[in-house]
Structure 1
Amino acid sequence: MPFVTLPISMTQTFRRAAVLVLFSTAATGAIAGSYDPREAFAPFSYPQPVTAYRSGSGMPGPLFWQNRADYELRADLDPVRNHLTGRATIHYTNNSPDALDVLWLQVEQNRYREDARGNFTSDRTPKQHTDGYRIASVKVEQGGHTVDATYVVADTRMQVRLPAAVAARGGKVSVTIEYSYDLPGDFGGRTGFAGSKNGNIYEMAQWYPRMCVYDDLRGWDTAPFLNSEFYLEYGDFDYSITVPSSMIVAGSGELVNPDDVLTATQRQRLAKARDSDATVMIRTPAEVTDPASRPKKDGTLTWHFRMKNTRDVAFGASTAYVWDAARINLPEGRKALAMSVYPIESVGDQSWGRSTEYLKASVEHFSTKWYPYPYPVAINEAGSAASGMEYPGIVFDPMEAKPKDLHMVTAHEIGHTWFPMIVGTDERRNAWMDEGFNTFIDVYEADAFHSGEFAPKRDGEYAPKGGNPVDEILPLLADADAPPLLMGADMVKEKYRHPATYFKSALGLVLLREQIIGPERFDPAFRKYIATWAYKHPSPSDFFRLMESEAGEDLSWFWRGWYQNNWQLDLAVTNVTYVDGDFHKGAIVTVENLDRLVMPSTVRVTYDDGSTKNVRLPVETWQQHTRFALTVPGDKRVVSAAVDPDHVLPDHNRANDRFDMRSSRTGSK
């Protein structure tokens, strides 16, 4: 989902809170004795233990396994009744060490039922409802025999009871479900339809029953869909969508029957786009209302797509689409295709005219810096029912977005390809590993795009122009009711979802990269994490352990303070004297840690000739001390000494960061 701007009222509340926090701490200081080295550096209990499946290095263990789900999907979209009829066959492979006598599936259209659990837990409850999935039949095929299955539906989950258990370590079973449902309108949030000048725009996600994950952490993970996101198995998809011939379908993966659904002109333009860094029009605005832009005038057409090694597929469909495309240049000479589809209302460089440029640049940046984009196409689709949502190979973004916002949301949504499409995070339980990690990589993409045309992202979401993100996090850290990052995503109130799940998680990685580890060690370690857990399901502990092992740092103090707790930082310079009272022998700078969080920091001494000297205080300084006397060599008079002089740490009391010699009575020879 997008790194959205907070509502004005919430932004103002956060800013007022920031002022109050800074004022109150400047006036009173931190509570004496609130920092305890024994607490900060106590042995850290990782949330998940080391097993034969997951090693102490954060890597998959020698017995690591993962189940697989391959899909054959067929669906008819009826835009007159706003109705979908489908048939899903799931070929499931049980690689676990356990025989499975039931299967659990997600039937998430039930989220739109009036009695859905999510209506009682979320602040974003739909005001309209559907009757959810209508299941026509469920059949199971095992060992060459097909039988009607017994099943039970519970909210957004379905349990299928098998006639015989699926054998461990490679057993297979196939389930075929025939179903239908009425589409939610623009209240769907993650799926639905909404109007445009030339027809409805359909944004279709969660449109088929999907397998729940069975893993080594908790067996079947059957967390209901309340309004959070997803946790899915990987596999290959073969799917077909039948729509009226007047509609264009933009879907995840590769279109395998272009001769059937595109005109000769459109196929020629696509071929040109595959070799073009400049955007090529596939269907122009003038052609949207031209019947000749479709291969036949009436009846239906079936669009056939395939996608390999993915966890999901989604599609958009409309009579209203303008369509353009350009080549994506990937590492090792590989190519992919960036495409945008949007209504006439969104035409022009002040709207969606540069969408494909943004999409192409984002994918190229993420691919070069972190891990290559794995899919044949990347699609940006403009609508309003599900705007700001991500799926493999396609993202749904707001049709009314202007350039800066469109660049931001495009980069963020396609950035979800890396988290959680490639790195298969359990978003329903650990959304901070999804939204926060993706927001983190967005920071550097914004800096890179056209030399920072829309940068900096890092202070554009909460802060006023010129604001500092380490100050913007202070109200959250000071809020006693704010959740820690290590909390189930569905338990985080909407008030805190964005500040914690997106912003605090992303800022934590920025601090790790730029202040704690350094890019030269962080970047290879983070790339190793992505490559190691590509198409697998890492836990928080896997991330913590791998980053420590690869970067060569014990970071348990940071995991405890920033992720397990919501601790504050308050470093202070409390005194400056000269060695033996003689400035020629150097200065003694006393630095104190006054609150519960610890961080490495820089101390800067400024001399009377304007020169400065920096000394780096490592985090180990605070393992045995609450106060540390730092000797700084030099033979000049000191004007001042400051901790964190470049304002890069989330220190909640800036008033005590600097000690000014002119206001002290310290003498010298």
Structure 2
Amino acid sequence: MNKKLAKILGSLGLLAALTSPLAAQDAPKGYDYQEAFGPLFYTQNGNEYRSASGYPGPKYWQNRADYQIKAELNESRNQVTASMTITYKNNSPDKLPYLWLQLDQNLFADSSRGNAIIPPKSRYGAQGERFNGGYKITNLSVQRRGKSLKFDRIIEDTRMQIRLDEPMQAAGDVVTIKMDYTFVIPKEGSDRLSHVTTKNGEVYAVAQWFPRMSVYDDVLGWNTLPYWGAGEFYTEFGDINFEITAPASHIVMGSGELLNPKEVLTPQQLKRWEEAKQSEKTVHVRSEADLTDPASRPSKDKLTWKFRITNARDAAWASSKAFVLDAARINLPSGATSLAVSAHPVESNGQDAYGRGVEYVKASIEHYSKMWFEYPYPMAVNIGAAIGGMEYPGIVFCSWKAKGQSVWGVIDHEFGHTWFPMIVGSNERKYGWMDEGFNTFINGLSSDAFNNGEYKERPMNMHMIGSRIIGNPNGDKMMLIPDGMAERNIGMNLYFKPGIGLKLLRDHILGPDRFDYAFRQYIKHWAYKHPTPFDFFRSMDNAAGEELSWFWRGWFIENWKMDQAVTDVAVVKENGAVKRVDITVTNLDKLPMPIILEVKTKSGKTERIKVAADVWMRNTKWTIRHPISEDVVSVVLDPAKVLPDANEENNTWTAR
């Protein structure tokens, strides 16, 4: 277990579980191949909306929400005041008599349901802070083609329902929703937004900062799970144009493209900004030395920064007079370019921290773009802030106190989220593993590739993981919603287990070629759309050409353990000469996996034997007949410890 992974899991309480007596308990034993390989895994046929191949069907639809926002930051009150227009299009085949919006800031109101159930020391609360949080919404109106519509509204915790007197029509009707609102930025907001005092000023990282349309889909209709803190987000795609008015002393960075750099940067900064767009190396747009120079910001009271991000599911921004600003060019496979940006306080500067931020952003984006799908946004902005790590389209918030390898780890992880869930728009609030776990998996490949292996991950001892973590009956199942899990289990179920599951699938079940092709096809077909877990399972089965329901069932749906054992070894001779060895392997626990054997003979020669997991389709034990010409000294199951075998004590046979 490498340091980066240990830190992630440790922060989420998983490392404590490794040494807990509870974690050592065994799951119910006994392999049943009829259960593991039962054919009734996909219980619904494909349809015209979601095909049997796991891809969107010919009549797949999703609604659209475009936003125009003008907001102002009041630094003395830590308050955002805004006016917003939402253009909402109903592409569904259904009439909509009411609309639902997400009001995530209401988590921080004293009366919120989330505040009532989040433990005092949870990372998902306001850390015990008490203030007048939540949205204050005024001047709400709804129009269709310029005509005002009558409606009623209710606000229920982190959700608002607009009950229309006249329903939205199906297949293309559009309404415009307008409102004004204010809210106070929490000091520690569910580890996703914050403000913190640095020696040169307050750093604001602002997210969940505007009411957003809930998703209406063909799976559940309106997705109205409240925001309780642990579950993240599920939002519609659209174009977001936003303006942030802040003190002129501030640097503001946001999702998408900065539209008016000439209006908000000094002439010298603008020159460096343009240089950075052509530079492979980091350009200091606003250096550490500039922070104490009054001329490094325009001599005005306020400035308005304008941003646009297209075909995105969210947007966020950060503002501070304490920001150092670095940038460099990102090269994309198509020949297009983007801009890597890092904005952070001087406390985070230096080559052991965010002084390498732009280098890390650039390497991360270029790797994922080449490996999986091209990065879609004009900028990739890293913000050093008082947040452990949080992702939004085109911008991420990372801990301003991170050092060394942890800086690479958090930047690479948060930008990996560009692909899951910013491009592949899964429902994080229900299936957090579809973004965190998939991202954890691709992070491992990215770390191995960075700078000739500077942060290459060490091989994991999967036997230890199999014995202490996988199948722990106190560990919750992966398919629970994040808010329905014990917080100590979130690291395991959302990050670690799905991440290593995909690694097992790539390295030992499908192989890199088939896995990578199928995974790329999944990303390509579901880019800017909303897949479910079973869409993912089907898409991998189809593109890889493999019936993997045994794997999806045991690893993702159930919480099964693996335990293979060498139960017999017989050397077969003819006329006194050794001809073969018969090795019997028994599957003792519920989870099937391939068989990997190492056979060592008298002369010291070793051979590896691999048998696909298919052998367990109708057997609880299997004898492998392997030709040899000399006596066998030892037989070892999974000698490299790459499979999650829960009991390695029965993995070895040694000749007497």
Whichever residue aligns with residue 584 of structure 2, its letter is T
Say if 1:252 and 1:313, in contact at 8 Å, map to a contact too.
yes
Give matches, 1:508-527, under 5 Å.
508-527=501-520
Q: Does residue 290 of the first structure (1) align with residue 296 of the second (2)?
A: no
The residue number in structure 2 matching 1:507 is: 500
The answer to whether the Cα contact below 8 Å between 1:388 and 1:396 also exists between their aligned partners in 2 is: yes
Deviation at 1:455, TM superposition (A): 2.2
User: Counterparts of 1:527-546 in structure 2 under 5 Å?
Assistant: 527-546=520-539
1:564–1:19 distance in 2 versus 1, CA, 3 Å: closer
Deviation at 1:174, TM superposition (A): 0.7
Please name the residue that 1:411 is paired with: 412
- Name the CA distance, whole Å, in 2 between partners of 1:395 and 1:303: 18
2:626 aligns with one of 627, 632, 639: 632
Q: In the alignment, residue 449 of structure 1 is paired with which amino acid?
A: F
Shift of 1:589: 0.7
Matches within 5 A, 1:290-309: 290-295=293-298, 297-309=299-311
Alignment check: 8 A CA contact 2:426 2:530 kept: yes
Look up the SS of the partner of 2:355 in the other structure: coil
Query: Structure 2 CA distance, aligned partners of 1:473 and 1:266?
Result: 53
How far off its partner does 1:592 sit?
0.6
How far, CA to CA, are the matches of 1:58 and 1:470 in structure 2?
33
Q: Describe how 1:168-247 pairs up with structure 2 within 5 A.
A: 168-227=170-229, 228-247=231-250
1:618 and 2:607 equivalent?
no
Structure-2 residue corresponding to 1:132: 134
Change (3 A) 1:580 1:275: same
Q: Is the 8 A contact 1:583 1:634 kept in 2?
A: no
Structure 2 residue 350 is the aligned partner of structure 1 residue 354: no
Q: Which amino acid is the alignment partner of residue 399 of structure 2?
A: P
CA distance in 2, matches of 1:117, 1:256: 39
1:55 paired residue number: 51
1:607 aligns with: 601
Distance 2:271 2:207 in 1: 30
Q: Secondary structure at the match of 1:354?
A: helix
Matches within 5 A, 1:41-120: 41-46=37-42, 50-120=46-116
Residues 203 and 426 (structure 1 numbering): CA distance in 2 closer, same or farther, change over 3 Å? Answer: same
Which residue does 2:343 correspond to in 1? 341
Structure 2 unaligned residues grouped into runs of 5+: none
1:567 aligns with 2:569: no
Alignment-derived partner of residue 650 in structure 1: 644
Maintained 8 Å contact 1:18/1:472: no
Question: Aligned partners of 2:155 and 2:234: how far apart in 1?
Answer: 19
Q: Counterparts of 1:605 and 1:416 in 2: how far apart (Å)?
A: 42
Match for 1:335: what amino acid? T
The answer on whether the counterparts of 1:570 and 1:595 sit within 8 Å (CA) in structure 2 is yes
- 2:530 is matched by which residue type in structure 1? H
The answer for the alignment partner of 1:480 in structure 2 is 473
Deviation of 1:147 after TM superposition, in Å, equals 4.6
Q: What count of residue pairs does the alignment treat as equivalent?
A: 644
CA distance in 2, matches of 1:281, 1:232: 35
* Aligned equivalent of 1:577: 570
**How far does residue 160 in structure 1 lie from its aligned partner after superposition?**
1.1
Contact 1:52/1:62, CA 8 A, preserved across alignment: yes
The CA deviation string for residues 425-451 of structure 1, in whole angstroms up to 9 with x for no partner, is 100000000100000000011111112
Quickly say closer, same or farther: Cα 1:48–1:237, change in 2 above 3 A. farther
1:250 equivalent in structure 2 = 253
Higher alpha-carbon deviation: 120-129 or 387-396: 120-129
Question: Counterpart amino acid of 2:146?
Answer: G
Unaligned runs of at least 5 residues, structure 1: 460-466, 663-669
CA distance in 2, matches of 1:342, 1:36: 55
The alpha-carbon deviation at position 119 of structure 1 amounts to 2.0
Give the direction of change, closer, same or farther, for the CA distance of 1:416–1:179 in structure 2 (3 Å limit).
same
SS in 1 for 2:359: helix
1:374 to 367, 376, 382: 376
Go from structure 1 to structure 2 and tell me whether the alpha carbon gap of 1:15 and 1:161 turns closer, same or farther (over 3 Å shift).
closer
**1:549-568: per-residue Cα shift (whole Å, max 9, x none)?**
00010000001110111101
Q: Is the 8 A contact 2:391 2:414 kept in 1?
A: yes
Give the CA deviation at 1:20.
8.2
Give the 3 Å change call, closer, same or farther, for CA 530–48 of structure 1 in structure 2: farther
CA contact (8 A) 1:529 1:546 kept: yes
Q: Partners of 1:46 and 1:389 in 2: how far apart?
A: 34
Q: Distance in 2 between matches of 1:20 and 1:192?
A: 35
Q: Which moved more, 1:515-524 or 1:51-60?
A: 51-60
Shift of 1:56: 0.8
- Structure 2 distance, partners of 1:116, 1:304, is 33
TM-aligned CA deviation for residue 177 of structure 1? 1.2
RMSD: 2.0
| Selected match of 2:485 from 492, 497, 505 | 492
- Deviation digits for residues 488-528 of structure 1 (CA, Å, limit 9, x no counterpart): 22211111000121000100000000011000100010010
Residues 583, 576 of structure 1: alpha-carbon distance in 2 compared, 3 angstrom cutoff: farther
Runs of at least 4 residues off by over 6 Å: none
Q: Classify the secondary structure of the residue corresponding to 1:90.
A: strand
Percent of aligned pairs with the same amino acid: 45
Q: Partners of 2:539 and 2:308 in 1: how far apart?
A: 34
SS in structure 2 opposite 1:332? coil
Aligned 8 A contact 1:18 1:474 in 2: no
Code of the residue aligned with 2:281 in structure 1: it is A
- Give the residue type in structure 2 aligned to 1:611: K
1:138·1:148 contact (CA, 8 Å) conserved in 2?
no
Q: Structure 2 counterpart of 1:212, which letter?
A: S
Distance change (3 Å), C-alpha of 1:564 and 1:252:
same
Query: Matches of 2:515 and 2:133 in 1, distance apart?
Result: 49
| 8 Å CA contact retained: 1:137, 1:148 | no
SS at match of 2:354: coil
1:548 to 528, 541, 544: 541
For 2:582 and 2:605, locate their aligned partners in 1 and report how far apart those are by CA, in whole Å. Answer: 17
CA gap 1:209/1:281 in 2 versus in 1, 3 angstroms:
same
**TM-score normalized by the length of structure 2:** 0.95
Q: How far is the alpha carbon of 1:8 from its aligned partner?
A: 8.2
Give the C-alpha shift of residue 289 in structure 1. Answer: 2.5
Residue identity matched to 1:647: K
Amino acid in structure 1 at the alignment position of 2:455: F
1:383 is displaced (CA, Å) by 1.1
1:392 matched to 2:385: no
Post-superposition offset of 1:48? 6.4
Question: 1: distance between equivalents of 2:261 and 2:173?
Answer: 36
AA of the residue aligned to 1:538:
P
Q: Deviations over 1:59-109 (max 9, x none)?
A: 111211011001101101100111111111100110000011111101111
